[in-house]
Structure 1
């Protein structure tokens, strides 16, 4: 049985992280300190993704092989994100 308190706490954490991402963008850090802001947003996005995958998609309770497949996809997505950011400059 899933815990409503756990899901509510995770929702609040995800909401706070999303608010922090918007705050980084709205504060103008993407204009003045691009790479610092980029890394901050990337780290926050990774944390959010891990919470969503671990709890809402129940990957926390799956066999390790399924977790590794998902992590390989995450690494691929991060590589594409870095490549896209590098090509903009």
Structure 2
């Protein structure tokens, strides 16, 4: 199990990534809307991986559970793409 220093560092990184997502849309003279959306998605994936890895303790679990979680995330992604396709 990680110590308090690790959790504090992860918390600060998550806070910085959240601020970065906000700045993508506030600095519209630097970032276009498409760049802001792509950047937000990338930061959201990084934040999700950090949360799952450290706060949900997936780093300490057997690899089979990690692979099962990856398959579940992939299935949610496919479901989201299918729902987006059916809306158009």
TM-score range (shorter-chain normalised) is: 0.7 to 0.9
TM-score normalized by the length of structure 1: 0.77
User: Matched residues in 2 for 1:44 and 1:77: separation?
Assistant: 18
For structure 1, the 5+ residue unaligned runs are none
Deviation at 1:72, TM superposition (A): 1.7
Greater gyration radius: 2
Matched, 1:18 2:18: yes
Deviation at 1:65, TM superposition (A): 1.1
Q: What are the equivalent positions in structure 2 for 1:43-62 lying under 5 Å apart? A: 43-62=42-61
Deviation at 1:79, TM superposition (A): 3.9
Distance of aligned partners of 1:62 and 1:81 in 2 relative to their CA distance in 1, 3 Å threshold: same
Distance of aligned partners of 1:82 and 1:20 in 2 relative to their CA distance in 1, 3 Å threshold: farther
Aligned length: 87
When the two chains are superposed, the root-mean-square deviation of aligned CA atoms in Å is 2.8
Contact 2:17/2:47 (<8 A) preserved: yes
Contact 2:25/2:33 (<8 A) preserved: no
TM-score normalized by the length of structure 2: 0.77
Q: What are the equivalent positions in structure 2 for 1:26-45 lying under 5 Å apart? A: 26-28=26-28, 32-34=32-34, 36-45=35-44
For structure 2, the 5+ residue unaligned runs are none
